[in-house]
């Protein structure tokens, strides 16, 4: 029994001490170009998906229509495109230096059209820790975040006017008044 308790004490002291030594020695990956730690992606994604499932809205408070998409395109261009890019364009310079790399949300293979709009809303409102994804809950209105969420949820079937607003200079992305 004594050996068991000695083993517990040693484990409780040595394991955290080894982790602290590893982190403070400068060997832990901290640069965006470094390979991730073992299980880093699994742990981060598991925690993120659990939090989103628990907190994301399940109903959308506005209609998904051309006006909402156009308004979302304007907000997206001004606040999202510097990392998540625009259709038919190469990833922005900022995105190339981020870890994990931000998805290019308007490129066919990286669209989030299979995610519920509430999931995209949660991510845009709250941000995602340790990814560079900021939370826009204090800088954009709830309506603007929903407009972007609807835009992205329907990115594979946007009307031509919205596609043009995303492809043209930002003045063309103004929502109709």
The model's pTM is 0.83
Domains within the chain, CATH numbers bracketed: 66-172 (1.10.760.10)
Structure tokens at 110: 């990286």
The residue-averaged pLDDT of 66-77 equals 98
User: Is 80 in contact with 105 (CB distance < 8 Å)?
Assistant: yes
In this prediction, residue 170 carries a pLDDT of: 53
By CB atoms closer than 10 A (0-12, 13-18, 19+), residue 114 is: exposed
The residue-averaged pLDDT of 44-73 equals 97
Q: Is the pLDDT of residue 176 over 60?
A: no
Q: Is the pLDDT of residue 68 over 60?
A: yes
DSSP H helices in the chain: 2-24, 40-55, 66-79, 81-84, 93-96, 117-126, 142-153, 160-167
Q: Is the pLDDT of residue 29 over 50?
A: yes
Q: What is the mean pLDDT of the chain?
A: 92
Q: Is the pLDDT of residue 99 over 80?
A: yes
Q: Is the pLDDT of residue 172 over 60?
A: no
CA distance 104 to 91: 7
């Amino acid at each position: 029994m004594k050996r068991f308790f000695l083993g517990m004490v040693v484990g409780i002291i040595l394991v955290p001490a080894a982790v602290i030594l590893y982190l403070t020695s400068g060997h832990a990956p901290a640069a965006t170009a470094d390979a991730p730690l073992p299980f880093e992606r699994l742990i981060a994604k598991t925690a993120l998906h659990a939090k989103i499932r628990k907190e994301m809205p399940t109903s959308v408070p506005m209609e998904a229509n051309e006006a909402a998409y156009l308004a979302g395109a304007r907000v997206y261009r001004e606040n999202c495109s510097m990392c998540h890019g625009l259709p038919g364009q190469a990833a922005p310079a900022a995105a190339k230096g981020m870890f994990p790399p931000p998805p290019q949300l308007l490129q066919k293979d990286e669209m989030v059209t299979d995610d519920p709009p509430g999931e995209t809303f949660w991510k845009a409102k709250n941000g995602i820790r340790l990814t560079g994804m900021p939370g826009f809950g204090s800088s954009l209105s709830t309506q603007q975040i929903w407009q972007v969420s609807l835009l992205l949820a329907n990115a594979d079937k946007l009307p031509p006017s919205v596609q043009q607003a995303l492809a043209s200079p930002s003045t063309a992305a103004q929502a109709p008044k």
